[in-house]
Amino acid sequence: MATEIERKFLIDLEKIGPLENGMAIKQGYVPTSTKTAVRVRVKEDQAFLTLKGANKGATRSEFEYVIPLPDAEAMLAELCEGPIIDKTRYLISYAKHVWEVDVFYGDNQGLMVAEVEMASEGEKVELPNWVTTEVTGEVKYYNSSLLANPYKSW
């Protein structure tokens, strides 16, 4: 089974310095009746369909598949409920890990988070000085939660 083990943090944009080579991402969620998240994501000119299970600490099952871009665009328009998550992702290498820094737009303008994936929950991760508060497991920071409760309404 594929698993994702990641920690999520808020960041201090002033300490991180200029962000370069960002990748535009648009994503939506197909409604389900369970805790499973079905995500459709377009990253530049590539598209993915991802199924994620419920979190158990920092771990959850994750299955991701490349899909044709026109299919993803149709799914975003026809199958995904609510607004689309719009963000730019920056990859930053720091002390043996690659951090994914997401800067959000639209209803989530002003939200900036960093995620780091690990091989195990016990793996030590050196935190950069631009990382502030850990929000791993806080549901309101899940991209799927930002649709119903966007950052602007906090």
Q: Please provide the DSSP assignment of 32-96 as one string.
A: -SSS-EEEEEEETTEEEEEEE---BTTEEEEEEEEE-HHHHHHHHHHT--SPPEEEEEEEEEETT
CA pair distance 149, 58, nearest whole angstrom: 22
* Predicted pLDDT at 1: 58
* Predicted pLDDT at 81: 83
* Predicted pLDDT at 3: 86
Query: What structural domains and CATH numbers belong to the chain?
Result: 3-153 (2.40.320.10)
* Predicted pLDDT at 142: 92
Say whether 141 is catalytic.
no
Instruction: Report yes or no on whether pTM surpasses 0.85.
Output: yes
Of 29, 65, 90, 94, which is the active-site residue? 29
Nearest by Cα to 46 from 78, 23, 22: 23
55: its two tokens: 């979190």
Q: What is the pLDDT along the chain (154 residues), one digit of tens a residue?
A: 588 899 999 999 889 989 999 999 999 999 888 888 899 999 999 999 999 988 888 888 999 999 999 999 999 999 998 789 999 999 999 999 999 999 999 999 999 999 999 999 899 999 999 999 999 999 999 998 998 899 999 9
Work out the number of other CB atoms within 10 angstroms of the CB of residue 147: 19
Taken in order 10, 55, 23, 154, is the CA torsion positive or negative? negative
